[in-house]
Structure 1
Amino acid sequence: MKVGPQAAVSSVIGLAVFVALVFAPAGTFGYWRGWAFIAVFSAFSLLPSIYLALHDPAALRRRMQAGPTAETRPVQKFASAMAFLLLAVMIVTSALDHRFGWSAVPAVVSVLGNVLVATGLGVAMLVVIQNSYAAANVRVEAGQAVVSTGLYGLVRHPMYTGNVIMMVGVPLALGSYWALLLIIPGLALLAVRIVDEETMLHTELDGYDEYTRKVRYRLVPYVW
């Protein structure tokens, strides 16, 4: 299957999964935060995918090779599986929070959460546009070179930075303060993934040692 139709099928399946994760635990379709979150997530996932399908199909194909089965390193398989599980738990917890009224989140905070979700997804896709070798799995391909400009001039793993921004936004968009606690294991997983990924990059990617001396921070400028 060509990458464009494959991406479309994946989007439909992903949308169905999100609808189930949001509305089944919420116990109602009358959950405007759920609809707003799904609309924002879908739009800021689909539009960049359309752009890549038209301008860089190879980059889109790399982005679609996601999940633990696409990883070759044991640590990455574990971290990837746990990351998908954690996102699902975060969504379900937020929806249960709405159902049982655990949090009182103002509408404006949920709007801000959706802005963060859109920003995080936008950052992740901008990374792919700036570095066509950026993939959802960890690997080094033949001919791959170090990218040190754009977002890569700020942090060494800007795609994960986008993930952090989105991770903060999801519970707020869905109206839950309690689900924010899941950011803690989420950050721990990212740290494990980054450390293992850099072990590989130092060994397999020419110029990466020099790049790490130029760009000191991995995830957040002036923090780590």
Structure 2
Amino acid sequence: MITKLVFEETVLMVVMAAALFASAGTFDWPAAWLFLGEFAVLSLAVAAWMARYDPALLAERLSSPIQANQKAWDRLFIICVGLGFVGWLVLMGLDARFQWSRVPTWAQVAGAAGLAAAFAVAWATFRENGYAAAVVKVQAGQTVIDTGPYRLVRHPLYFGAMLFFAGTALMLGSWWGLAGGLLLTLLVAVRAVGEEQVLRRELAGYEDYAARVRYRLVPGVW
């Protein structure tokens, strides 16, 4: 499992670096190096925690995002968000090349903090929910989780994704990336609605939980 983790992390880092630096046309982009470094450290830290405390969850998260019994609409979502993610990185690289954006330093620092917050939310979610699979499905023995971040929103991982999109765009100094991140967030929101339909049908107690916790992604908003 550790070998698979290292392999998948390496592939992801290479893909992200290639998308950013190829579109930027240069390796002389300090913000991109800082982003990649922070991403690598935080993602490996969360994975190391799972390896020690919940290896079954780590194995599930490392499994293929396209699975045999996966809902067709969720398979389409995974493909679209994967392509959209790469396109989003390319957009920010082009922004850096042609200097379309002027993002102040304080906003870039805030973006780095937002990126860290995104991984903190992911860790808090995995700590509470050992069934947080990367695909939409109800697993054997799965129960409703209403502790930790699940007390505030029904989909804390998606809230973390929203922080990730915003934090990354700001850290890389791209207003266009921030706009692209909003589009990716909309895709995630659509998936949240579809996922809830599955959970309401297949997970006992979810209907009552949804009545108690009103908000899907953002407390007090939606």
Bucket of the pairwise TM-score, normalised by the shorter protein = over 0.9
Aligned pair count reads 222
* Corresponding residue of 1:53: 51
Per-residue displacement from partner, 1:32-62 (whole Å, max 9, x unpaired)?
Answer: 0000110111111111101111221101112
23-32 or 179-188: bigger deviation = 179-188
Question: Which consecutive residues of structure 2, in runs of 5 or more, have no partner in the other structure?
Answer: none
Structure 1 residue 164 and structure 2 residue 162: aligned?
yes
**Cα distance in structure 2, aligned partners of 1:84 and 1:208:** 28
- Matched to 1:158, the amino acid is P
Shift of residue 125 of structure 1?
Answer: 2.4
Corresponding position of 2:18: 20
CA distance in 2, matches of 1:63, 1:111: 30
Are the counterparts in 1 of residues 153 and 216 from structure 2 also a CA contact under 8 Å? yes
Judge conservation of contact 2:46–2:119 (CA < 8 Å) in 1: no
With over 3 angstroms needed to count, the CA separation of the structure-2 counterparts of 1:109 and 1:219, relative to structure 1, is same
What's the counterpart of residue 185 of structure 1? Answer: 183
1:123–1:162 CA contact under 8 A, matched in 2: yes
| C-alpha separation in 1, matches of 2:100 and 2:174 | 8
TM-score by length of 2: 0.95
| Alpha-carbon spacing, 1:70–1:172, altered in 2? closer, same or farther (3 Å) | farther
Percent same amino acid among aligned pairs? 38
Residue by residue, what CA displacement relative to the aligned partner does 1:104-158 show, whole Å, maximum 9, x if unpaired? 1122221211211121122112211111111111111111110001100000000
Equivalent residue number for residue 119 of structure 1: 117
Q: Which amino acid aligns with 2:24?
A: A
Cα pair distance change 1:95/1:117, threshold 3 Å: same
| Greater CA drift, 88-97 or 28-37 | 88-97
Matches within 5 A, 1:1-80: 3-65=1-63, 67-69=65-67, 72-80=70-78
Give the superposition deviation at 1:167.
0.9
> C-alpha displacement at 1:69, in angstroms?
4.5
Q: Distance in 1 between matches of 2:33 and 2:68?
A: 30
Question: Is the alpha carbon distance of 1:41 and 1:71 closer, same or farther for their aligned partners in structure 2, counting shifts above 3 Å?
Answer: farther
CA RMSD in angstroms, aligned pairs only? 1.4
Aligned amino acid, residue 42 of structure 1: A
Gaps of at least 5 residues in structure 1 are: none
TM-score by length of 1: 0.94
Letter in 2 for 1:170: T
CA deviations on 1:70-118 (whole Å, 9 max, x unpaired) are: 7711121122222122221221111111111111112222121121112
Q: Determine the C-alpha separation between the residues in 2 that align with 1:137 and 1:64.
A: 11
Q: 1:36 to 1:70 in 2, by over 3 A?
A: farther
